């Protein structure tokens, strides 16, 4: 008899938990509009039909900061995906900066997930509580796959997570406009992506010298004539 009561109570608790969980997801709001600005690889602005702008923080992911390797590439990839396009944003709440925390959908496709698949964002496990369990699994699997393929930020042998970078000022960084090699009477600018991939290699004097020499040869007038 006692066992039956415990079993019944267990079913009631389980049912209540499922109901609460489903109710939370059912309350997700939908914001629709055109993407008019890309701040970085995980933040954009949507203009709704009433011409009101909403800053959206893509929930469940964290893209490299602007001064990190692949920060610029991540931002550009997000722009290529959604800038100027109509999107729908599933969201539950705003953060302390009044940004909408949401999943951005383009023609039904999860843009947050696409950033992870491209190796241009991390699965932000610390702040994925508002994601469905299925989405959490997809994000985790996408990051693992990108890591195994060595694409995007995972091509870096020692990628620094954005949340660690924000709290560690000594972490390696690159400027948005790229790195520069400066020698007396000579300056050579390197794309930030190359900086991110090769920053360890560039510590080698021989590699640096070879790069500078190649740049000098390419800049010679007779080199242009030869081509």
Active site residues: 57, 65, 99
Long-range contacts, stretch 144-151, CB < 8 angstroms, 24+ apart: 145/117, 146/116, 146/117, 146/118, 146/119, 147/119, 149/119, 151/118, 151/119
Contact (Cβ atoms closer than 8 angstroms) between residue 33 and residue 12: no
The three state secondary structure string of 153-164 is HHHCCCCCCHHH
The answer for 202, left when phi > 0, alpha when psi is -120 to 50, beta otherwise, is alpha
């Amino acid at each position: 008899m006692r066992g039956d009561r415990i079993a019944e109570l267990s079913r009631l608790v389980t049912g209540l938990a499922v109901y609460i969980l489903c109710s939370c997801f059912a309350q997700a709001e939908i914001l629709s509009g055109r993407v008019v600005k890309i701040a970085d690889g995980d933040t954009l602005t949507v203009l709704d039909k009433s011409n009101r702008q909403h800053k959206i923080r893509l929930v469940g992911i964290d893209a490299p900061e602007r001064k990190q390797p692949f920060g610029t590439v991540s931002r550009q990839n997000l722009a290529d995906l959604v800038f100027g396009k109509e999107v729908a944003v599933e969201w539950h709440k705003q953060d302390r900066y009044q940004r909408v925390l949401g999943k951005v959908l383009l023609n039904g496709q999860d843009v947050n997930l696409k950033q992870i698949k491209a190796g241009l964002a991390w699965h932000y496990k610390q702040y994925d509580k508002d994601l469905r369990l299925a989405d959490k699994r997809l994000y985790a699997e996408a990051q693992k796959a990108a890591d195994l393929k060595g694409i995007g930020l995972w091509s870096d042998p020692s990628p620094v997570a954005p949340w660690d970078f924000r709290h560690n000022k000594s972490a390696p960084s690159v400027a948005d406009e790229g790195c520069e090699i400066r020698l007396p009477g000579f300056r050579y600018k390197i794309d930030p992506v190359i900086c991110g991939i090769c920053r360890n290699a560039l510590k080698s004097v021989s590699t640096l010298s070879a790069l500078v020499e190649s740049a000098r040869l390419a800049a010679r007038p007779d080199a242009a004539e030869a081509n």
